[in-house]
Amino acid sequence: MAWVALIPLLPALAFVVMLPMSRRARNAVRWLPAAATIAALGLSVAAFFAVLAVGGEEPVFRASFTLAELGGAPLAVGLRLDAVSAIMLLVVTIVAACVQIYSLDYMRSEDRRGWYFAVLSLFTAAMLLLVLAGDFLLLYMSWEVMGLCSYLLIGFWHEQDAPRSASIKAFLTTRVGDVGFAIGLAAMWASAKSFDFAVVLHGFEWTVPAATVVALGLLFGAMGKSAQVPLHVWLPDAMAGPTPASALIHAATMVAAGVYLVARALPIFHEAAPWVLQLVMAIGVTTALLGALLAVVQHDIKKVLAYSTISQLGYMFIALGAGSEIAALFHLTTHAFFKSLLFLGAGAIIHATHTQDMREMGGLRRSMPWTTTVFVAGALALSGVFPFSGFWSKDDILMVLYTGGHWYALVAALAVAGLTAFYMTRVCVRVFGGSEKAHAHEAHPAMLVPMALLAAITVVVGFTSPAFAGFLGEAKGWPDLGMAAVGTLAALAGIGAGVWVFGLGKVDTAVLKRRLPRVYAAFVNKFYFDTVYGIVFVGAYAHLSGWLARFDVSLIDGAVNGIASAWSKVSSVAWSADVRLIDGAVNGLAGAVTRAGGRMRTLQAGAVQGYQRLAYGALLVLLGASLLVPFVGTTVALAGGAVALLLMGVLVVRGA
C-alpha cells in the first residue's frame, strides 16, 4: 500500500518540474500537471476501493516518520488512509483534475502560466497530503503550505493593486486563525505527548480543561481557513485571483479544510466543555446567515459565489456543532462539486464577456447554451432542489438539527436555504435571462468537458447519501419525506421570490434602497467588518508600530546614548587628572585605533567621543576586575590577551 504516498507525491513532482519553467512554459510540458493530477485521481480511486474492500473505521494503510526526538520522546508524523481520507482524496483529485484541464485553455494566453500550473500542482499536493495526514502536525504543516499557494495564486496578477492586497490579506487573516491552531497543537502535545489521530482521538483520557483548550485552538484555526465570522473577510477579496484557482482553492478544497479539521477532531470537541460545540454551531449559524445575506446584494458574479461559499461553509459548521461529522462531510463533498462547477461556469462567462459585473451580462442562454445548462444545474444543486446533490446533503443537515432538537439552528438553516435559492435565482436571471448585452461565445471544449463532468457528478452524487454514511460507518436510510418537503418548500419559496423580484421585476429594488438607507448601507459595507478591522487592527497596528519604532530610537537608544554622553561628562571632569595614568596604558592604543579607523567623522562625534571614553573606562574595569583573581598568571592572561588581540588587529589593519 505504500503507493498511497504517490498520491500527493505526483502533483508535488509536477511542481518541481514546472517551477524552473515558471516564466516560459513550453507547450510540451503544459499537460504534465494535469497528467499528474489525473494519475493521482486514478490512485485515489484505487485507494477508495481498497478501503471499501476492507470496510470498518480502522485505517487500511498507515505510515509513520519520526521527525525528531524531544528528550527521547519521538515526534512522529504519518500518513493514514481510512474511509474519511479516501472520500476526501476522491473529492480533491476529481476537482483538481477538472480545474487543471480547464485551466489549460483558460490560462492559455498568460505569460506566467508555468508559474500558475506549478503553484496549482503544489497546492494539490499539499491538499492531498492534508487529507492523508494521520496526525494533526502533518495536517497543520500541509495546511500552511496550502495557505502559501493560496497567497501566491490570489496574487497571480500582482502588478495590479487589488490582487496584491487581497493576497496579503488572505494570508494574514488565515494566520490569525493559525495562531490559535498552533496553541491548540502545543496544548495537545503538553497533554498527550502526541499528535497522532490514533492516540489523541481514540483512547486518550482527556481532561475537560485540556480538551477545551485544544478544541478552541483548532476551532480558531478552522475559522480562519474556512472563512467563518469574524475571520471571513479575506475570502471575497481572494476572488482577485484567477477563477479556476478560486474554484479549486477558494470554493472546493482549501476553504473546506477547516471543516475537515473540526470533523476529524470532533472526538476532542466531545470531550471539551459542552459550550464549545454550541459555539461551533453559533459561529456556523452566524456565518451561514451573513454569507447568504451579503450574497444577495453583490453585483460581481464571483463575489456572489464567494459569499455563498462562506454561507455554505457556515452550514457545514452548523452540522459540526450538532456533532454530526458525517452530515458536514457529505455537504462538504456535494458542495465541492457543485461550487467548483459554478466557479468554472462563472469563469467561462467572464472569459466570454470580459466582465465580472452581472449588470453588464444578460441573455447568455443563447450564445452559451452549454455553459448555461451546467451552471443552472449547479445553481439548482446549491439551492437544494431535488434531485441535485445539494438537496440531499442539505436535507441531512436539517435532519440532524431536527433530531438533535437544535431549533434555532434549524430555523436559521431553513432561512439560509431560502435565501440561497433566492440569490442564485437572481444570478441566473441576471446572467442568462433578458436580452444579450454584449457579444459572447461558447467556451472552448477543454473548458466545457470538465464542467460537464462536474455537472454529471452534481446530478448523481446525492443519491449516494445512504451509501456515503454507510461507508463512514453509520447506518442511514433515505431522507424523511416530511423534512424533504420542508427543505424543498424553502428552496421553492426562494426561487419563487427570486423570479418575482428579479425575473418579473415586481419589486423595485431602487425603492428599497431609498426606503431603508441604513440597511442598504450596512449591506453595501459588508456589515462594516472590513471598516472596523481597518481601523482597529490594520490602522492601529501601523500606528503602534511607527510609534514603537520612534520610541526605540528616541527613548531606548536615547538612554543608551545618554549613558554614553553622561560618562563622557564624568570622565572629562576626571580627564585631566586621569590622562597621565591612562595615557601609558591606553593612549598609544587609542591613537592606533583612531588612526586605523582612519576617517573618524564629525558625524555623531559627541556620542563617539563618549563611547571612546567609555571604552577606556571599560578597559580599566576589565583590568581591575581581573585583579580580583588571586593569581597573577590569570591577570596577565586576561589583560594581556585582550590588549594583545586589539593590538594585533590594529597591526594587521595598518600593515595591510
Please, which of residues 34-63 interact with other proteins by CB under 8 A?
Answer: none
* Nine-digit cell string for 288: 451561514
The correct pick among 52, 54, 70, 581 for binding other proteins (CB under 8 A) is 70
Give yes or no for residue 646 binding other proteins (CB under 8 A).
Answer: yes
Q: Shortest CA distance to 44 belongs to which of 83, 11, 9, 93? A: 93
Q: 222 with 263: CB under 8 angstroms?
A: no
Which amino acid, one-letter code, is at 56?
G
CB nearer to other proteins: give 369 or 649.
649
- Report the DSSP beta bridge partners of residue 64: 78
The correct pick among 106, 171, 343, 392 for binding other proteins (CB under 8 A) is 171
Q: Shortest CA distance to 151 belongs to which of 125, 123, 130? A: 123
What b/e readout covers 198-207, taking b as 16+ CB neighbours within 10 angstroms? bebbeebebe
Q: 201 with 267: CB under 8 angstroms?
A: yes
- The CB-of-614 to other proteins minimum distance in angstroms stands at 5
The correct pick among 273, 456, 590, 600 for binding other proteins (CB under 8 A) is 600
CB nearer to other proteins: give 373 or 561.
561
Q: How far apart are CA 381 and CA 387, in angstroms?
A: 8
- The CB-of-438 to other proteins minimum distance in angstroms stands at 30
Give yes or no for residue 168 binding other proteins (CB under 8 A).
Answer: yes
* Nine-digit cell string for 336: 465541492
CB nearer to other proteins: give 260 or 502.
260
Compute how many other C-beta atoms are within 10 angstroms of the C-beta atom of residue 306. Answer: 27
Q: 323 with 405: CB under 8 angstroms?
A: no
* Nine-digit cell string for 171: 494570508
Compute how many other C-beta atoms are within 10 angstroms of the C-beta atom of residue 518. Answer: 7
The correct pick among 35, 63, 75, 499 for binding other proteins (CB under 8 A) is 75
Restricted to residues 528-557, the positions that interact with other proteins (CB under 8 A) are 541-542, 544-546, 548-549, 552-553, 556-557
- The CB-of-366 to other proteins minimum distance in angstroms stands at 40
CB nearer to other proteins: give 225 or 331.
225
Q: How far apart are CA 383 and CA 393, in angstroms?
A: 11
Please give the distance of CA 212 from its chain centroid, rounded to a whole number: 23
Restricted to residues 554-583, the positions that interact with other proteins (CB under 8 A) are 556-557, 560, 564
Restricted to residues 173-212, the positions that interact with other proteins (CB under 8 A) are 175-176, 178-179, 182-183, 185-187, 189-190
Identify which range of 169-177, 204-212, 254-262, 308-316 contacts other proteins by CB under 8 A. Answer: 169-177
Contacts of 342 (CB under 8 A, 6+ apart): 251, 305, 375, 378, 379, 382
CB nearer to other proteins: give 517 or 562.
562
The correct pick among 2, 28, 53, 71 for binding other proteins (CB under 8 A) is 71
Number of amino acids touching other proteins (CB under 8 A): 87
Q: How far apart are CA 22 and CA 120, in angstroms?
A: 12
Give the relative orientation of helices 83-106 and 6-18 as an angle to the nearest 10 degrees.
30
Identify which range of 40-48, 71-79, 304-312, 400-408 contacts other proteins by CB under 8 A. Answer: 71-79
- Report the DSSP beta bridge partners of residue 81: 61
The correct pick among 57, 58, 69, 583 for binding other proteins (CB under 8 A) is 69
Q: 10 with 40: CB under 8 angstroms?
A: yes
- The CB-of-132 to other proteins minimum distance in angstroms stands at 15
The correct pick among 5, 35, 570, 653 for binding other proteins (CB under 8 A) is 653
Q: How far apart are CA 645 and CA 145, in angstroms?
A: 49
The correct pick among 172, 438, 459, 499 for binding other proteins (CB under 8 A) is 172
* Nine-digit cell string for 478: 433515505
Give the relative orientation of helices 208-225 and 257-271 as an angle to the nearest 10 degrees.
170
H or E element, residue 342: helix 325-353
- The CB-of-289 to other proteins minimum distance in angstroms stands at 28
Give yes or no for residue 312 binding other proteins (CB under 8 A).
Answer: no
CB nearer to other proteins: give 97 or 564.
564
- Report the DSSP beta bridge partners of residue 79: 63, 133
Q: How far apart are CA 275 and CA 627, in angstroms?
A: 67
CB nearer to other proteins: give 17 or 492.
17
- The CB-of-153 to other proteins minimum distance in angstroms stands at 13
Restricted to residues 139-158, the positions that interact with other proteins (CB under 8 A) are 140-142, 144-145, 148, 151, 155, 158
Q: How far apart are CA 324 and CA 251, in angstroms?
A: 22
- The CB-of-238 to other proteins minimum distance in angstroms stands at 15
- The CB-of-262 to other proteins minimum distance in angstroms stands at 20
CB nearer to other proteins: give 185 or 451.
185
Identify which range of 49-57, 306-314, 502-510, 593-601 contacts other proteins by CB under 8 A. Answer: 593-601
Compute how many other C-beta atoms are within 10 angstroms of the C-beta atom of residue 151. Answer: 21
Binding mask 4-23 for other proteins (x = CB under 8 A): -------------------x
Q: How far apart are CA 576 and CA 574, in angstroms?
A: 6
CB nearer to other proteins: give 12 or 413.
12
- The CB-of-627 to other proteins minimum distance in angstroms stands at 10
CB nearer to other proteins: give 82 or 178.
178
Give the 3-state secondary structure of residue 38. Answer: helix
- The CB-of-179 to other proteins minimum distance in angstroms stands at 5
Give yes or no for residue 596 binding other proteins (CB under 8 A).
Answer: yes
Which amino acid, one-letter code, is at 131?
V
- The CB-of-589 to other proteins minimum distance in angstroms stands at 12
Give yes or no for residue 24 binding other proteins (CB under 8 A).
Answer: no
Q: 145 with 122: CB under 8 angstroms?
A: yes
Q: What is the dihedral of CA 631, 637, 639, 642, to 10 degrees?
A: -160
- The CB-of-147 to other proteins minimum distance in angstroms stands at 9
Identify which range of 249-257, 361-369, 462-470, 613-621 contacts other proteins by CB under 8 A. Answer: 613-621
Residue with the three cell numbers 490514533: 198
Cβ burial, residue 541 (10 Å; 0-12/13-18/19+): exposed
CB nearer to other proteins: give 55 or 597.
597
Alpha helices in 65-159 (DSSP H): 83-106, 113-132, 136-154
- The CB-of-67 to other proteins minimum distance in angstroms stands at 4
The correct pick among 162, 208, 521, 645 for binding other proteins (CB under 8 A) is 645
Restricted to residues 471-500, the positions that interact with other proteins (CB under 8 A) are none
- The CB-of-502 to other proteins minimum distance in angstroms stands at 39
CA distances from 514 to 179, 511, 518, 521 (A): 43, 5, 9, 10
* Nine-digit cell string for 433: 435571462
CB nearer to other proteins: give 485 or 648.
648
Q: How far apart are CA 333 and CA 87, in angstroms?
A: 8
CB nearer to other proteins: give 34 or 76.
76
CB nearer to other proteins: give 156 or 307.
156
